[in-house]
Amino acid sequence: MDDHGISRTSQDEFAIQSYKKASAAWKDGLFAEEVVPVTIKLRRGAEIVVSEDEEYKKLVEAKVSTLSPVFVKDGSGTITAANASSLNDGAAAAVVVRGDQIPEGATPLAEVVAFSEAGGEPVDFTVAPVWAVQKLLKLANMSVNEIALWEINEAFSVTALAFIKELNLDPTKVNVKGGAVALGHPLG
């Protein structure tokens, strides 16, 4: 990423940290209330239960810096299979209601105070999310320092690194349980 000064080494280091954070989060039980086990029926009647992510266990740290770039074939690229997210399965659900529609006795987990969107040319994929957040912070009358933790899409390490750089974020507040580089990028 010449325009952001984000090196291949920085991307690889970020990816390794994502894997380490995900591994620690699983070990510490931080995903226990976020993941529902799924039973998969195999051929001949056998079943297996998938109860945790699998990608974060696949890191071979010594190989990260040795992988070839995937998008630029002349060797000058910086994105590799190690510092990009793998394609994985995933599912999510959220119930969103107006404040006056919250069922009696229910405790909301979050409140949407503002939202925004931004777009640009395909080449701007690393910074378009930054533009959306800048608009969002303005709408919410907040600063980056008022946000306790940041969950940033890690389709590629460079995306999260550009986000951190452009918004001058504290990296220790970003993807504290790892991100898509380590956990996978759900299709769909």
Where are the domains positioned within the chain?
8-186
Question: How far is residue 45 from each of residues 36, 50, 116, measured CA to CA in Å?
Answer: 22, 16, 48
The 3-state DSSP class for residue 47 equals strand
- Residue-wise pLDDT for 9-27, tens only, equals 999 999 999 999 999 999 9
- Please tell me the predicted confidence (pLDDT) of residue 1: 43
Alpha carbon separation from 63 to 17, 68, 77, 82, 106 (Å, rounded): 14, 10, 17, 8, 48
For the chain, what percent of residues have pLDDT higher than 70?
Answer: 98
The stretch 109-116 carries a mean pLDDT of: 91
Would the pLDDT of 92 be above 90?
A: no
- For residue 86, what is the DSSP state? P
Which pLDDT does position 84 carry in this prediction?
95
Span 8-186 CATH architecture: 3-Layer(aba) Sandwich (3.40)
Q: So what's the pLDDT on residue 3?
A: 55
pLDDT tens per residue across span 119-133: 899 888 888 899 999
Q: What is the pTM of this model?
A: 0.89
Phi then psi dihedrals of residue 113, to 5 deg: -100, -20
Provide φ and ψ at 22, rounded to 5°: -65, -45
